[in-house]
Amino acid sequence: MGKRIHTVIIVPHSKANFIKFSFSTRTFAIVTSIALVAVVLSIVAIGFTGSAVDRRADVARLKGENLELARVNQELEGTIAAVQQRLDEFEERTSRLALAAGMVAESGDPTTPESRTSVVNTGGPYTRLRGDVLTLRVQGDTIAEQLLEVEQAMVDQDQRLSSTPSIAPVIGVITDGFGNRRDPFTGRRAYHNGLDISARRGTPIMAPADGVVVFAGRKGGMGRMIRVSHGFGYQTVYGHLDTILVEPGQDVHRGEQIGLVGNTGRSTGPHLHYEVHKDGRTVNPLYYILDAY
């Protein structure tokens, strides 16, 4: 059987001559195979080229992101360091405020590192961890809690100081002190629960501390009398007044005028009988007068 010949004739429109190609079936198969392989290889090459371009773009993008992350991380480290420094300053200030508020154990010197572990609620030393955001948050929360405790201690201390008698209720001459004395009416020895301060009739009487008036009126030998409760176990009593200027239930403040010196009740002359009570017991008023005598 002879070779089968295939002929392709190309007839151009612009020319009369035509082009003729003749080839065998085998040649046609080989050429077709080569063409198909070339097309497949071209497609594969185009695919790989596109993937390579995409990979290069991804690499460039990742490099850019890494540079940005490095910059952000550097800024974050600087911010963390600055915040850590500020928290350290706040912790130190909290410790100082706590010492000022008296929030320190009885034993040990709070100014030395060894004794700082004995400081009670002072904002004092925390366990140093690595300086990450979580640690800073924990440290900040701790300092915030300690500041609240210090603030409350300062408020309590201020209230206690405001409620502690500390000034003379009247300026005059002490004619009888606290303790045993000879009674001016009977001539016998008797226990005197307060101070007798002689002053002109009508001399203003001042509250020695903040408090609430719990009694204002006449009471036996004390004549016109005022009793003030200051809290924290303190009460003060004022006797033989000429005039009472306050009412029961009224709030009074240190230095506020509450009455006038008089000679009412069991008295030998114009003067103020002044008592200080602590936890239900009379104490020497002189210990609670810091501005006179």
pLDDT digit string, tens, across residues 158-195: 888 899 999 999 999 999 888 776 766 566 677 889 99
Determine the Cα–Cα distance for residues 40 and 254; give it in Å rounded to an integer.
103
Q: Return the pLDDT at 247.
A: 97
Residue 12 pLDDT grade (very low, low, confident, very high; cuts 50, 70, 90): low
* pLDDT above 50 for 126: no
pLDDT given at position 49: 72
**Which residues, at least 6 apart from 277, have a Cβ–Cβ distance to it below 8 Å?**
234, 235, 236, 237, 283
- Confidence band of 17 (pLDDT split at 50, 70, 90): low
The encoded tokens of residue 165 equal: 């008698």
Residue 107 pLDDT class (50, 70, 90 cuts):
very low
Enter the DSSP assignment of 142: H
Residue 97, token pair as written in the block: 């405020």
pLDDT for the residue 35: 79
Band of the pLDDT at 59, cuts 50, 70, 90? confident
Q: Quick: pLDDT tens for 219-249.
A: 999 999 999 999 999 999 999 999 999 999 9
| Better pLDDT: 107 or 162 | 162
Angle between helices 25-100 and 133-163 (to 10 degrees): 20
Query: What confidence score (pLDDT) does residue 182 get?
Result: 74
What architecture (CATH level 2) is domain 173-288?
Answer: Distorted Sandwich (2.70)
Query: Which pair of structure tokens corresponds to residue 208?
Result: 């020695």
Q: Give the C-alpha separation, 98 to 119, whole Å.
A: 9
Sequence letter at residue 102: G
Q: What is the pLDDT of residue 31?
A: 75
Q: Provide the pLDDT for residue 263.
A: 94
- Map out the domains of the chain as residue ranges: 5-66, 80-163, 173-288
**197 or 22: which leads in pLDDT:** 197
Q: Is the pLDDT assigned to residue 50 strictly greater than 80?
A: no
Report the pLDDT averaged over residues 132-145: 77
